[in-house]
Amino acid sequence: MTDARVAQMAEVLTRYSLNLKSGDKLAIRGSTLAEPLIKEVYRAALRAGAQVVTQISLPGLQSIFMDEANDEQLSWVSPFSQAVTEMFDALLVIQSDTNTREGTGFDPKKLSKVAEANQPLRDLLIERAALGQLKWCVTLFPTAAYAQDADMALEDYENFVFGACLPD
């Protein structure tokens, strides 16, 4: 059973934050920890008539990538990310980390190489958003890691996040 607050948050994201219309192409990015919200946003977006794709990540993949990737892999730009940036009408990123400090030990040179390779996509995203061609939103799904960072119990943190994201 889905927490009613998650369904309400999905409605706010799809109807207000992204203002999805019939035929809009929406990409949803998030980790498996955000599964309840991803499902509800997916449902609400379909009800709004949007075409929806998801990009679900697993906790720990970024660490594996940063440990194992060679220069060619670090410089590779995902065709999926390229397509979303160039052709989609809306992008929703749901932050949902299991470890908010996972990247603190990453090699700065590797991070720089990845950032440099993806800079043209970031520039295009900003340009398309400024021109009104791309609606985007970044939100947060409450996790134990975020609650710990806030020195709060998970339930208290969930109440805080959902209270901040929902209409009165």
pLDDT at 156 over 80: yes
Residue 96 to residue 69: CA distance in whole angstroms? 23
**pLDDT tens, 27-83?**
999 999 999 999 999 999 999 999 999 999 999 999 999 999 999 999 999 999 999
At the top level of CATH, the class of 4-165 is alpha beta
**pLDDT tens, 97-149?**
999 999 899 999 999 999 999 999 999 999 999 999 999 999 999 999 999 99
Average pLDDT of the segment spanning 80-101:
96
Find all residues with CB under 8 Å of 61, minimum gap 6, and list them.
Answer: none
Average pLDDT of the segment spanning 90-101:
95
Task: Give the residue ranges of DSSP H helices in 26-69.
Answer: 35-47, 61-68
Both tokens of 136, joined, read 């985007």
- What are the sequence ranges of the domains in the chain? 4-165
